[in-house]
Structure 1
């Protein structure tokens, strides 16, 4: 999981709150041990907190899972930065921004993807968590819909779904699937994304 080392010549990073410490420990356990390894006691041990600290912060397992989903969305947002995607300039410029974010994720944050898959599967069995998980995902879907609308898409919702499906498939294949040891270069991702965007936006090869 992300560390908070002090930059050379810089000030120490802000001290983590207890809620962040607990959520980060929960995500680390999910990535390393899976859902069965996530317990309140294990989080206490991983975070270096007194026994019972996690139970005081998140009294139920579902509350602990919700804390993990909330923190995961925050950390993924820093990597993918949906608000930084270009809102215009044609499919090539859009593809460059999307490919850069995707490549950054695939080469430095695959443990977050493993956590997301664990939580997504658990959400299929917990209706309350499903609602919470889907709500957290809106922060990524809505910017893509807006992006497609700004690019001139005739059906921004449907085209955003196609874009998400392409990106999700790429992330699954490269994080835990058969392409785990063959992550595409940023240039390859840019080419593939541009091909998809041109087809949806009807801009041909120009």
Structure 2
């Protein structure tokens, strides 16, 4: 059972775990109550509809991802103007590798929610709005690294990252996903291709 500060957080965290374990078909108010050890009706009180429950799980997921040390370090590096390609590649690789190793369940839930967003306009709006925060951060990082087209280049990196994540979790590459070092080397190659080769130091 997830350990969370408030009952609303406990409900959202438990809902996310159930999505990862059972898929969205297994997510019900009663299932969350039982898994979280809460009195019957507790989840319905905090999230009246199933759509609200799914939205709460998605918001909780984004909050947990944004609290990851590697992502915090990237944001702090951008804010402080202390950036180089090797550091960005290393932190990006750590974040992505963690997503399909230690945080595999959370990432599986995200894939489930992404598919559901394709069928639900209301969830699509929430999913895209929350996802835009991550894309803006990547755009800012690339601008700080000297990209002449930071938005387009951010799209390339985001699309690559999403592809790696899907392949490592559910695709043909799941049996042997890339190591953190392999990810770091590939990100460096991508950055060199997008930004041009760095001058020798």
TM-score normalised by structure 2 residue count: 0.90
Q: How many residues align?
A: 195
Deviation string 1:93-129 (CA, Å, 9 cap, x unpaired) is 3211211222222220011111111111111111111
Deviation at 1:133, TM superposition (A): 1.1
Deviation at 1:205, TM superposition (A): 8.2
Aligned position for 2:58: 69
Partner-residue secondary structure (3-state), 2:21? helix
Q: Is the 8 A contact 1:79 1:104 kept in 2?
A: no
Verify: 1:84 aligned to 2:84, yes or no: no
Paired with 2:150 and 2:64, the residues of 1 have a C-alpha distance of 26
Verify: 1:173 aligned to 2:167, yes or no: yes
Consecutive unaligned residues in structure 1, runs of 5 or more = 5-14
The structure with more helix, counted as a fraction of residues: 2
Paired with 1:124 and 1:101, the residues of 2 have a C-alpha distance of 25
Paired with 2:158 and 2:173, the residues of 1 have a C-alpha distance of 18
Paired with 2:157 and 2:89, the residues of 1 have a C-alpha distance of 10
Deviation at 1:80, TM superposition (A): 6.5
Aligned position for 2:117: 123
Q: Is the 8 A contact 2:70 2:91 kept in 1?
A: no
Distance 1:80 1:62, change over 3 A: farther
Paired with 1:186 and 1:81, the residues of 2 have a C-alpha distance of 12
Partner-residue secondary structure (3-state), 1:191? helix
Distance 1:79 1:181, change over 3 A: farther
Q: Is the 8 A contact 1:83 1:143 kept in 2?
A: no
Deviation at 1:147, TM superposition (A): 0.2
Partner-residue secondary structure (3-state), 1:50? coil
1:124-203 to 2 correspondence within 5 Å? 124-203=118-197
TM-score normalised by structure 1 residue count: 0.88
Aligned position for 2:20: 31
Q: Is the 8 A contact 1:23 1:68 kept in 2?
A: yes
Deviation string 1:143-189 (CA, Å, 9 cap, x unpaired) is 10100100110110110010011111111111121121212221111
